[in-house]
């Protein structure tokens, strides 16, 4: 079964990082194995925003170009926010707090909840959706979220 891999901030940052560290090489190899096995990479608009703002702040112009090239490499890879996802995010945010399991401070935008809602509202069975992250703790209460090296290509 092919998966729709929704990339979180850290794995996306590694995949588009210009330096070829061991970690960057490992995630790149894993990523191409996933693509070769039929999985599709998705860059949610909220994660693109999160990474782009940091690269702009740090004045990493070359990295911005790499991010944009990655996002634009395949039509449909970039997934903008939707009203449906924002409405679901508000519900998830409220439920997580009511259940005593908040994912961020009460005044934070809470990108994790928006990311989870975007993945859940994608329109495919949830069994085909995985959020690729380096910290699954908050996200896994809503959707399948795993460290990238725990996802078998």
Tell me, what's the pLDDT at 103? 87
Question: What is the pTM assigned to this prediction?
Answer: 0.94
- The Cα-based distances of 45 to 54, 77, 112, 153 in angstroms read 14, 10, 12, 24
- DSSP at 34: H
Return per-residue pLDDT of the chain as tens, 153 residues.
689 999 999 999 999 999 999 999 999 999 999 999 999 999 999 999 999 999 999 999 999 999 999 999 999 999 999 999 999 999 999 999 999 998 888 888 899 999 999 999 999 999 999 999 998 988 999 999 999 999 998
- The Cα-based distances of 50 to 34, 84, 148, 150 in angstroms read 24, 20, 19, 24
Tell me, what's the pLDDT at 102? 87
- What is the CB neighbour count within 10 angstroms for residue 137? 11
Domain 4-79+124-150 fold is Rossmann fold (3.40.50)
The domains of the chain are located at 4-79+124-150
């Amino acid at each position: 079964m092919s998966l729709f891999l929704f990339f979180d901030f850290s794995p996306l940052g590694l995949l588009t990082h210009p330096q070829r560290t061991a970690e960057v090489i490992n995630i790149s190899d894993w990523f191409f194995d996933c693509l070769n096995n039929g999985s599709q990479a998705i860059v949610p608009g909220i994660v693109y925003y999160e990474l782009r703002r940091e690269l702009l702040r740090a004045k990493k112009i070359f990295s911005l170009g790499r991010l944009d090239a990655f996002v634009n490499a395949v039509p449909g890879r970039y997934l903008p926010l939707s009203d449906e996802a924002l409405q679901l995010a508000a519900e998830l945010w409220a439920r997580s707090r009511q259940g005593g399991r908040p994912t961020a401070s009460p005044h934070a935008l809470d990108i994790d909840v928006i990311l989870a809602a975007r993945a859940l509202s994608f329109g495919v069975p949830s069994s085909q959706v995985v959020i690729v992250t380096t910290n699954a703790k908050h996200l896994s209460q809503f959707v399948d979220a795993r460290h990238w090296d725990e996802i078998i290509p």
